[in-house]
A = this chain, B = another copy of it.
Amino acid sequence: MVAGAAALRAGLAPPIGCITESPDFRGAGLPGFGHLVFGGHDVTSTPLTKRAEELTRSGVIPPPLAELVRPALDAADSEIRPGATEGGSQGAVARRLIGDLAEFRERRGLARVIVINVSSTEPPAAPDPAHLSLDALEQALEGDIPVLPPSSLYAYAALSAGCPYIDFTPSTGARLPALDELARRRGLPYAGSDAKTGETLVKTALAPMFAVRGLAVRSWSGTNLLGGGDGATLADPAAGESKRISKDRALAEILGHQVEGRTHIDNVPHLGDWKTAWDHITFEGFLGVRMSMQFTWQGCDSALAAPLVLDLARLMARAHERGVAGPVAEFGFFFKDPVGSNEHRLHAQYESLRQWLGQGA
């Protein structure tokens, strides 16, 4: 994504997959690619250049481009700080993260810092009374026992540092009453969860077709095959569960009723980043006649996700500028499980986003 932004900035690649570059969005006063500066927190020390090499080997980044964007990757690498570690109170860890964010903003002279969680999917977090109010949370953070999953600790730190926050993953992140309270109190926008880049994207474009045609969907079954880091993480049933919950929400909302069928997520290392999803749908038409449809999606996850990260950064900058506080429901277009909204129909979400952008003073 850093590689991609560098390529876009230098005019080395067309902005395919970046919706903020489409005619509907141009002229909306979004920050240019050239104005973005990258940094981050990570728990691994594998440099971005190394990961870009893997993406080159697997055919995602063309070799000549990889050469040209290497300086941009080195620059971003030098802005990556150690992630949230265990040991000590979470409050102390949070203060370190907040410091990193503030230091980055000041040293680089940035108008704002947008924090986007693109780390590995966590298992669903156990409920805790301290999640219900900011006061209770801040008290619990000083204890010895961790009260927040890492994604929420990052959200807490981001919001405390005055930074808008985005959950690109299905992890809990900002979706706790205490953190919503924090965002509203600080006048900060947040958005999420779980970018829709494949099977769910198609699902939310297709399910409304059955709805408007009055065709009665009876079952929708899905199998997702993927490798890479995400494949390995989601092979863990607990992490996979977060993803499945997030993926399954859309259908019942769009159709207005539950349907039969399950969603599987399988780790197939040989596929690497090339996720393959098969969905099978049965439906009834006039006089109860049974019909079916199936689709196979073969997408490259990183190439699908990267432009959305850039889009979200630009749009969130605008939301921050416009003083939005709390969840930005209009960003639901990007997410499997949109915070602040029950609208899952892709085209309705797009309209909502377009209108939001148009309104802005």
**Which residues of A does B touch, CB under 8 Å?**
3-4, 7, 13, 15-19, 21-22, 59-63, 65, 201-202, 205-206, 208-209, 212-216, 218-219, 221, 223, 225, 260-262, 264, 266, 268-271, 276, 278, 280, 282, 284-300, 303-304, 306-307, 333, 345-348, 350
- Could you say which residues of chain B place their CB within 8 Å of the CB of A291? 298-300, 303-304
Q: Is the CB of A293 within 8 A of B293?
A: no
Q: Is the CB of A270 within 8 A of B282?
A: yes
A24's closest neighbor in chain B, by CB? B212
Q: Given the interface contacts A201-B209, A205-B206, A271-B219, does A300 sit within 8 Å of B295 by beta carbon?
A: no
Tell me how far the C-beta of A162 lies from the nearest C-beta in chain B, rounded to whole angstroms: 30
A225's closest neighbor in chain B, by CB? B221
10 cross-chain CB contacts under 8 A: A13-B288, A65-B287, A223-B280, A262-B264, A276-B292, A285-B303, A292-B298, A294-B295, A295-B296, A347-B348
| Copies of this chain, tallied across the complex | 4
Q: Given the interface contacts A17-B213, A280-B278, does A4 sit within 8 Å of B287 by beta carbon?
A: yes
**Complex Cα gap A7–B289 (Å):** 14
Tell me how far the C-beta of A245 lies from the nearest C-beta in chain B, rounded to whole angstroms: 18
Q: Is the CB of B276 within 8 A of A270?
A: no
- Could you say which residues of chain B place their CB within 8 Å of the CB of A300? 285, 289, 291
- Could you say which residues of chain B place their CB within 8 Å of the CB of A297? 293
Q: Is the CB of B348 within 8 A of A16?
A: no
Tell me how far the C-beta of A354 lies from the nearest C-beta in chain B, rounded to whole angstroms: 9
Given B4, B268, B288, which contacts A221 in the complex, CB threshold below 8 Å? B268
Q: Is the CB of B304 within 8 A of A286?
A: yes
Tell me how far the C-beta of A294 lies from the nearest C-beta in chain B, rounded to whole angstroms: 5
- Could you say which residues of chain B place their CB within 8 Å of the CB of A63? 63
Tell me how far the C-beta of A327 lies from the nearest C-beta in chain B, rounded to whole angstroms: 21
Q: Is the CB of A268 within 8 A of B260?
A: yes
A348's closest neighbor in chain B, by CB? B347
- Could you say which residues of chain B place their CB within 8 Å of the CB of A296? 280, 293-296
- Could you say which residues of chain B place their CB within 8 Å of the CB of A221? 223, 225, 266, 268
**Complex Cα gap A292–B228 (Å):** 17
- Could you say which residues of chain B place their CB within 8 Å of the CB of A276? 280, 292
Q: Given the interface contacts A17-B214, A216-B16, A345-B347, does A269 sit within 8 Å of B260 by beta carbon?
A: yes
- Could you say which residues of chain B place their CB within 8 Å of the CB of A3? 287
A291's closest neighbor in chain B, by CB? B299
Nearest 4 interchain pairs by C-beta: A205-B209, A295-B295, A289-B303, A347-B347
A19's closest neighbor in chain B, by CB? B214
A297's closest neighbor in chain B, by CB? B293
Q: Is the CB of A287 within 8 A of B205?
A: no
A300's closest neighbor in chain B, by CB? B289
Given B60, B284, B348, which contacts A289 in the complex, CB threshold below 8 Å? B60
Tell me how far the C-beta of A212 lies from the nearest C-beta in chain B, rounded to whole angstroms: 5
Q: Is the CB of A271 within 8 A of B266?
A: no
- Could you say which residues of chain B place their CB within 8 Å of the CB of A304? 285-286, 291
Q: Is the CB of B266 within 8 A of A215?
A: no
**Complex Cα gap A61–B285 (Å):** 11
Tell me how far the C-beta of A284 lies from the nearest C-beta in chain B, rounded to whole angstroms: 6
- Could you say which residues of chain B place their CB within 8 Å of the CB of A287? 3-4, 7, 13, 16, 60-62, 65, 303
